[in-house]
Amino acid sequence: MTKYIFTGLLLIAVLSAACGGQSEPSAEPAMEQTTEIAEDAGNESVPPRASVSRLRVATTTSLYDTGLWSYLEPMFEEEYGVELDVLYAGTGKALEWGRRGDVDVITVHSRSREEQFVEEGYGLERVTFAYNYFLIVGSPDDPAGLEGMTPEDAFTTLMQNGEAIFVSRGDDSGTHGKEKAIWAIAGYDYEDVRTSGDWYVEGGSGMGPTLVMADEMRAYTLSDMGTYITYRSDLDLEPVVDQGDILLNVYSVLEVTSSRNPEMAANLREFLTSETVQDLIGNYGVVEYGIQLFTPCAGEGIQGI
Amino acid sequence: MPQLLEAFRIALDMIVSGDPVVFSIAFRTLMISVTATVIAALIFIPVGCLIHFNRFRGKRFLVSIIQTLFSVPTVLVGMLVFLLISRAGPLGSLGMLFSPGAIVLGEVLLIAPILTGLTISALSGMGRDVADTALSLGAGQLQMVLKVLSESRYMVLTAVLMGFGRAVSEIGVAIIIGGNISGYTRTLTTAIALGVGKGETSASIALGIILLALAMIVSVTVNTLQHSEK
């Protein structure tokens, strides 16, 4: 009798395979609302084949949540005839994937850790390709009165206030690293900050979810500008601190030494730093959001902090 | 409440309009979880039979362990399989990580305890008389096992559906070893997680509704096949 069960299940598999064949999309631009949540229809039309090579890039969440990678991915695939797999994670995890040899290219934003990654021999070279700034955002009534302060003064005020909530990424990401750096120049030991009270919330999520959480809790958080602008219309959060050298946010691309496809990895680095794509990055989101999300900077020697 | 209604409307839109992106994600999800369930059933229903029909030391203890593993956290399975098939891991040379096949592997391991344990429960529910009758009528060991299995088929089928339910709804394995790659390893649950993170609530609920619809189709199909055999 069990064979009926098995044949039943197999039948379902076959049936669904048949249905799937019919519903195979013809790469038409689908409904707006669903492409946002899901994926660009462009790369859906080609089922994964063994003969098409795949290249894996691990990216920091901010370059993913802004939609920049979904925008660039089909162009790269078209130009080089390769399936590009974009994996998103915090900078810490992205670099860990690189150390384990699970990805070919990394695009992240944490200078010291990237330089360490290269020094340890895991990455070829740190090539910067775009920058923007971090912002401290909070609910418009600004309960702790941070408006116009320097980042380090704002953090000092939050620490002394002890009531206004601050949501930290708390996930070892590049943004989390930047936050720790600001605590350091404000003169605090990060462990003291973490354990100082209920006002300090460790969210443990990507940038988008953290912004949503800060909005729900009427809290402050540190965000990269790109993700904040992308999410702004759904949030009741305003920038309160946006001036200070420490807030510079530089994105770079690193080829992983152990990549099985080093030539294609190099192609991706060249693609990102090419004049055409640099222009596209500079113009990305300008029409939609009325503001530049990323400033291209390949070959300009901007290294970041 | 209006949000929920809106979600239903969006879900209907997605289904009626045949949104290619949503359909390919739903189809991929179905393929992955059905494949995992079939493989797990083919291996672990027999394993359940072996355990049930044999006497050995520590059998009860083994069954307790299996039942405990019903509750194994999906993220833990995800992490262990990640360590296994990452290029730095023992099976790294296969290059399986971040592929649909890797998700299948993880889900097979995830639902193995459910299929084994519930098969044992199903067979235990039959009592000795079916087996004794079969043997007294001259059935061989294998025929006896098949007879008992056939008598308990509703329960075994429930085990299979439970396994499918856990596979299709889990996220820990899919996100850790699949990586939620657009157009390749994105499943309904990882798409929902991404949508929730982006605050796209309605669209996320809509994907959830589609997932439940899939589960319903599978369960109704399996039940219909069951009844039509009579």
Domain borders along chain B are 29-188
pLDDT at B202: 78
Residue A27 lies in a domain: no
Q: Which of B13, B21, B45 to mutate to test the interface with A (most CBs of A within 10 A)?
A: B21
Q: Tell whether the torsion through CA atoms of A193, A194, A199 and A201 is positive or negative.
A: positive
Hey, is the C-beta of A1 within 8 angstroms of any chain B C-beta? Answer: yes
Of A5, A44, A205, the CB nearest to B157: A5
pLDDT confidence of residue B229: 65
A17 neighbourhood in chain B, CB within 8 Å = 31
* Chain A 197-216, residues with CB within 8 Å of chain B CB atoms: 205-206, 208-209, 212
Same domain assignment for residues A205 and A230:
yes
Is A279 among the domain residues?
Answer: yes
Q: Which of A36, A73, A102 sits opposite B86 (nearest CB)?
A: A102
pLDDT score, position B127: 79
Q: How far apart are CA A15 and CA A205, in angstroms?
A: 39
Does residue A239 lie in a domain region?
yes
Percent of chain B with pLDDT over 70: 99
For residue A43, pLDDT beyond 70 = no
Question: Would the pLDDT of A42 be above 60?
Answer: no
pLDDT at A30 over 60: no
Among A247, A264, A282, the domain boundary falls at A247
**Contact between residue A60 and residue A107 where contact means Cβ atoms under 8 Å apart:** yes
- A37: confidence class by pLDDT, cuts 50, 70, 90: very low
What pLDDT does residue B126 have? 86
Per-residue pLDDT of A115-132, as tens digits, reads 999 999 999 999 999 999
Q: What is the ipTM of this complex?
A: 0.83
Residue B206 above 50 pLDDT?
A: yes
pTM above 0.80, yes or no: yes
User: What's the CATH number for B29-188?
Assistant: 1.10.3720.10
Considering just the CA atoms, what is the radius of gyration of chain B in Å?
20
pLDDT of res. A28: 35
Measured between CB atoms, which of B20, B156, B184 is closest to A5?
Answer: B156
Taking CA A205 as the corner, what is the angle to CA B202 and CA A286, rounded to the nearest 5 degrees?
Answer: 65
CB contact under 8 A, B226 and A23: no
Instruction: Output the pLDDT for position B80.
Output: 97
Q: What integer pLDDT is reported at residue A58 of this predicted model?
A: 97
Flag whether residue A14 sits within 8 Å of chain B, measured between CB atoms.
no
CA distance A58 to chain B (A): 10
Residue-range definition of the domain harbouring residue A263: 52-132+248-296
**What pLDDT does residue B230 have?**
57
Average of per-residue pLDDT across A80-103 = 94
Selected residue with higher pLDDT from A125 and A14: A125
Nearest-angstrom CA–CA distance, B138 and B135: 5
How many domains is chain A partitioned into structurally?
Answer: 2
Same domain, A223 and A83: no
Query: What pLDDT is stored for residue B204 in this prediction?
Result: 86
Q: Which residue has the higher pLDDT, B81 or A234?
A: B81
Confidence check: pLDDT of A13 > 60: no
The answer on pLDDT for A48 being more than 70 is: no
Q: Could you report the per-residue pLDDT of B89-129, keeping only the tens digit for each?
A: 999 999 899 999 999 999 999 999 999 999 999 999 887 88
User: Which DSSP symbol is given to B70?
Assistant: G
Q: What residues in A contact B97, CB-CB < 8 Å?
A: 102
Last residue of a domain, one of A225, A247, A269: A247
CB contact under 8 A, B25 and A88: no
Residue A85 bridge partners (DSSP): A56
Residues A151 and A225 in one domain: yes
Whether residue A153 sits in one domain with residue A223 = yes
- The minimal CB distance from B183 to the residues A20, A44, A206 is found for A44
Q: Three-state SS for B146?
A: helix
More confident residue, A171 or A280: A280
Average pLDDT score, chain A = 85
pLDDT higher than 80, residue B26: yes
Domain stop point among A207, A223, A247: A247
Distance in Å, alpha carbon of A72 to nearest chain B alpha carbon:
13
pLDDT digits (tens, 9 = 90+) for A174-226: 999 999 999 999 999 999 999 999 999 999 888 888 999 999 899 999 999 99
- Chain A residues near residue B195 by CB distance under 8 angstroms: 37-38
Mean pLDDT of B34-62: 96
Residue A6 domain flag: no
Is the pLDDT at A288 greater than 50, yes or no?
Answer: yes
Does A2 reside within a domain?
A: no
Q: What is the pLDDT of residue B12?
A: 84
Residue B178's pLDDT band (boundaries 50, 70, 90)?
Answer: very high
A37 and chain B: CB distance < 8 Å anywhere?
A: yes
Confidence of residue A52 (pLDDT cuts 50, 70, 90): low
Q: What is the per-residue burial (b if ≥16 Cβ within 10 Å, else e) of B41-78?
A: beebbbbbbebbeeeeeeeeeebeebbebeebebeebb
Q: Between the ranges B74-78, B140-144, B209-213, where is the mean pLDDT highest?
A: B74-78
Minimum CA–CA partner of A35 in chain B: B21
- CATH number, residue A212: 3.40.190.10
Residue A301 Cα, gap to closest chain B Cα (Å): 32
In a domain, A47, yes or no: no
pLDDT, average across residues A75-91: 94
Mean pLDDT of B13-33: 90
Of B17, B21, B41, the CB nearest to A9: B41
Give the span between the Cα atoms of A10 and B116, in whole angstroms. Answer: 20
User: Measured between CB atoms, does A104 come within 8 Å of chain B?
Assistant: no
Percent of chain B with pLDDT over 90: 69
